[in-house]
Structures are given as structure tokens and as C-alpha cells.
Amino acid sequence: MRKGLKTLVVTASAVALLSGAVLLYPSVSKAFQNKASGVASDPGAVFGKYILAPEPILAQAKPMLKVDSADMTEPGTTPDSAVHYYPNEACWKVIDTVEARTRAGDTAGAISALDDALRKPDWAPGDKVSLYRRRAWLWIEKGEWKAAAADYERAIEEIGSNDLCEEMRLRQAQVFCYKSLGDWQAANSACRTAIGKLDAKIAKFERGERMVGFAGRYYDTLAADSYYYDRGIFYSLMKKWGKAVRDLNHVLECRDPRNSNYGYVLQTLGEVYHEAGRYRKAVWYYSRAVEKYNEKADATPLMRAYESRAKSYDRLGLKRKADADREEAKRIEEKYK
């Protein structure tokens, strides 16, 4: 077990809900710009170790039990939760070297270490996914959005057809890179590719077909929820607000309100309405997310919900309420430092 890392048990659908919510925040764009210019010193400080940090939170903890998809599926099936991309020991050594050089301010040296490692022919697909993702983040630090998008594409190619949930995480990050470049055509093309794959999965579920061979209909429902959620994210990235709201509301209807991810869906709907210019509706969803986070004592998402609601209050001209929300966000941040 890698020293200093916590063991996390997270379902594929949980990761989908958690990571997708962050990508819609208006503050993410600013955070990315700050990161590229060197203002932000740590990816985790900006994103709370969400999907756009060097390694998603799921992959930051080495598993106590190696998951072998061949032992969990029927012949010919590749369930999305059965394949995760945890670096092995050799890969961790490369990542440790990269982190040391990055901390020393040697971004070029860190990229060089990854270049050398990726020339080796004997990496497992999961290792290459981790290395490409790490290099993509370093390109982002340098403001090299095109190179970052290309590395995300290479990571997606390594995944192949084995893990649609992981592909969606990478595709969302890639779309953000294209948008940062101002390449709307490439961004929309990537979104359409993702939506096409999700459409196929959702259609299969709606026809009543089994999507996996090891966990039955209960897992089918969870997986389908994550597909609807992801499709809502991509529709949002294309500014197809109505379709985004439809898919996200579907997730809310299917989920138990006691589910730990329920608040993230509420907050994502708030972000969609904010981006669409419907600020009162955004405030309503942010307020429901705040209630849900308070029930679960989820400090980091609660802080972000207050920050996001403050921006909607600003747009509505409600300065006193906006200032109160920002103060509450600061109080939470200080409390849980």
C-alpha cells in the first residue's frame, strides 16, 4: 500500500457523478487559466482532487485487491466497472520521479521523464492511461492545450472498448482543452462521439438487455444512471440545455435522495441553469444541494455549492445574499483546512 494514500472503494457510477459535476462549474475555467499561468500551486487545491487533477481520486489509492475483469464477467462481456486503471509499481516509480521534478519546478524534466517512459513497449494499457493523463496535466500547466488534448486521445485509444466510464472522464477533460483553445468544432465533435457511445448504451438498457454478467439488474440500473448523467454533461458542454436538464432530471428520478451522489446531481443542474442564464432556477437547485450536503456533512462540495450560488445571486443583483454565501464558503474552508 502506497504510504500516505487512503484506500477508497468507489463505484463507477459514483465517480461519474462526482467528476462530471466539477466540469460544469464556471470557476473551473478560471482555475484552469490560473493553473496554466502558474497562479495556482497545486492541482488538488484548485479542484479538490477531482477528475482534472493528475490522477482522479479513484486512481490515487492503490487497490488492496486487484480486479481482474476476466473473473467477473460472462464470456464476451466487458462491464464498465470491472476495468480500472491503477498504476503498477513500475508506473508508480515513474510518477514519483515526475512529481519530484514538478515540485522542483522542472516541468520540462517531468515531461521528459514521461516521454522516456512512454517509449518503453512493455507497459500495460492501464499504466499508459495513467502516464498519458499525467503528461496531459503537465501540458495544461504549460498552457499547451493542443498537446494535452492529444494525450487524452492517446489514453482513450489505450482504453479501447473496455471501460466507457473511464473514457467519458478523459473525453470531458479533452473537450475542456479544445474549448480552452477556442476550437469549438473539435470540442463539439468530441461531444458528439461521446454522446453516440452513450446513446448506444442507454438504448441497450432501455430495451431491457443485460449490460453486465456479474451483478444483475441492480448494477445495470446504476450503470445506466451514470450514462444518462454523462450524456447530460456532454449536452451541457454543447449548450443543449434542454437535453442536459432532461438527462440529469432522469438521474434524480432514479436515485434515492439518500444516495451520497444526489447532491452532486442537484448541483450540476444548478450549474446548467446558471450557464443557460436562468439564475433563479440555478439558485433553487444550489439551495437543495446545500441542504443535501449539510445532511451528509460534505465540506468540500458544500463550500463549492455556496460559491456557485453566490455567483447566481450576483447575476440577480442580490449582493447581500451573494456576500453571505461567500463568507460561509470561507468559513467552511477555514474550518476544514
DSSP state at residue 55: S
Residue with cell 432532461: 246
Provide the pLDDT for residue 47: 27
Residue 255 lies in a domain: no
* Domain membership of residue 27 as a residue range: 12-67+83-238
- Check whether residue 200 and residue 337 sit in a common domain: no
Q: What average pLDDT score do residues 192-196 get?
A: 96
Give the residue from 149, 167, 147 showing the smallest Cα distance to 158: 167
- Check whether residue 227 and residue 273 sit in a common domain: no
- Check whether residue 188 and residue 331 sit in a common domain: no
Provide the pLDDT for residue 210: 52
Q: What is the rounded CA–CA span in Å between residue 163 and residue 83?
A: 6
Provide the pLDDT for residue 92: 87
Provide the pLDDT for residue 247: 94
- Check whether residue 165 and residue 92 sit in a common domain: yes
Here the cell at position 188 is: 463539439
Q: For the domain that residue 208 is a member of, what is the CATH number?
A: 1.25.40
Are the C-beta atoms of 46 and 31 separated by less than 8 Å? Answer: yes
- Check whether residue 97 and residue 161 sit in a common domain: yes
Per the prediction, the chain carries an average pLDDT of 74
Provide the pLDDT for residue 222: 59
Here the cell at position 220 is: 445495470
- Check whether residue 187 and residue 322 sit in a common domain: no
- Check whether residue 128 and residue 233 sit in a common domain: yes
pTM, whole model, 2 decimals? 0.73
Residue 219 lies in a domain: yes
- Check whether residue 187 and residue 318 sit in a common domain: no
**Confidence class of residue 87 from pLDDT cuts 50, 70 and 90?**
low
Q: Amino acid identity of 7?
A: T
Instruction: Quickly list H helices, 104-240.
Output: 107-118, 125-141, 145-159, 164-181, 184-206, 216-237
Q: What is the pLDDT of residues 302-320, one digit of tens each?
A: 999 999 999 999 999 999 9
- Percentage of residues in the chain having pLDDT higher than 70: 69
Q: Which of 193, 220, 238 is the last residue of a domain?
A: 238
Residue 251 lies in a domain: no
- Check whether residue 89 and residue 31 sit in a common domain: yes
Inter-residue long-range contacts of 157-163, CB under 8 Å, 24+ positions, other chains counted? 158/125, 158/128, 158/129, 158/132, 159/85, 159/125, 159/129, 160/125, 161/78, 162/69, 162/78, 162/83, 162/125, 163/78, 163/80, 163/83, 163/84, 163/85
Residue 253 lies in a domain: no
Residue 246 lies in a domain: no
Provide the pLDDT for residue 52: 34
Tell me how crowded residue 142 is: count the other CB atoms within 10 A of its CB: 14
Residue 16 has pLDDT above 50, yes or no: no
Residue 242 has pLDDT above 90, yes or no: yes
Q: For the domain that residue 296 is a member of, what is the CATH number?
A: 1.25.40.10
Q: Amino acid identity of 269?
A: L
Are the C-beta atoms of 10 and 169 separated by less than 8 Å? Answer: no
Residue 289 lies in a domain: yes
- Percentage of residues in the chain having pLDDT higher than 90: 47
Least trusted range by pLDDT, from 189-193, 246-250, 267-271, 331-335: 331-335
Q: What is the pLDDT of residues 126-159, one digit of tens each?
A: 889 889 999 999 999 899 999 999 999 999 998 8
